[in-house]
Amino acid sequence: MTTYKAITGQSIFDVCMQTYGTLDYLYKLLQDNGIDSVDVPVIGGQTFLWDDSLVLDQGQNTLFADSGIRY
């Protein structure tokens, strides 16, 4: 897991795009950080945990883990 500090004025959607590069992992971001709803405001400087071992291969549009396991 890696940390990300939010910037003032960001929404949870912005944080998800900055960390994962896609909104596909929004639920995972919410769950990993104990956030109940997308309506919960993001506070500038708030720290978010995110899993940087997930890599999206744009060429194949297939999700891989660093361990080489294909999902």
Q: Is 38 helix (H, G, I), strand (E, B) or coil?
A: coil
Neighbouring residues of 48: CB distance < 8 A, sequence distance ≥ 6: 3, 4, 5, 6, 15, 19, 29, 33
The angle subtended at Cα 22 by Cα 20 and Cα 26, nearest 5°, is 75
Percent of the chain with pLDDT over 90: 63
Give the tens place of pLDDT for each residue, 23-45.
Answer: 999 999 999 999 999 999 999 99
User: Residue 69's pLDDT is what?
Assistant: 52
